[in-house]
Amino acid sequence: MRFTKKSHACVRLEKDGRTLVIDPGGFSETDAALGADVILITHEHPDHFDEGRLRTAMEANPQAEIWTLRSVADQISAAFPGRVHTVGHGDTFTAEGFDVQVHGELHAVIHPDIPRITNVGYLIDGGTIFHPGDALTVPDQPVETLLLPVMAPWNKIAEVIEYVREVKPQRAYDIHDALLTDLARPIYDRQIGSLTGAEHLRLAPGDDARL
């Protein structure tokens, strides 16, 4: 499987000639979802969900379909009739050769005064890679590659480190990093890399790796 990092929380996965894209939101490239056969959205926040980016992809590929939770599906189902599927925690499905398990229910706490919204994570191909969205969800099975939200209004580095320790992946790639300045990156690299026990990696937007 080829894994390509896009800006912020968006990633592309490619295998056997098919492409799956997760969270092509407003902080990612305008063409982040273009060419996708399968699109997964973790939650409704605009840095993860952007209708314009979805429309570009869905119009370019009339066979493309979206899987997401109800709060997003309710907003876009009318625009893409028959092509939007609602999923929740515990669901499993296969889309264009990708086996997907859905984990999690709620977004992480931003502040006690801000109501929590729903959020799901996606475990791909039996644990090959896990995207948690905006939550520190721990799947109930081994994860090879964890997509790690390193910088957000709802987390701090101690929580990020403990999350990696709890998931115990072989490797963790940074995502949700648009708010992390280059000045701070060496601090995160040193602490996450030395304290978690997992290989800690980062790709620049557009770079890829083989999983």
How confident is the model over 140-154, as pLDDT tens digits?
A: 999 999 999 999 999
**Across 155-174, average pLDDT:** 98
Rounded to two decimals, what is the model's pTM? 0.97
Contact criterion met (CB below 8 Å) for 7 and 31? no
- Residue range of the domain that includes 206: 2-210
Annotate 122-173 with DSSP letters as a single string: EEEGGGTEEE--SS----SS--SEEEEE---TT--HHHHHHHHHHH--SEEE
User: How many structural domains does the chain have?
Assistant: 1
CATH number at residue 21: 3.60.15.10
- The model's pLDDT over 48-93, given as tens digits with 9 standing for 90+, comes to 999 999 999 999 999 999 999 999 999 999 999 999 999 999 999 9
How far apart CA 24 and CA 8 sit, in angstroms, is 9
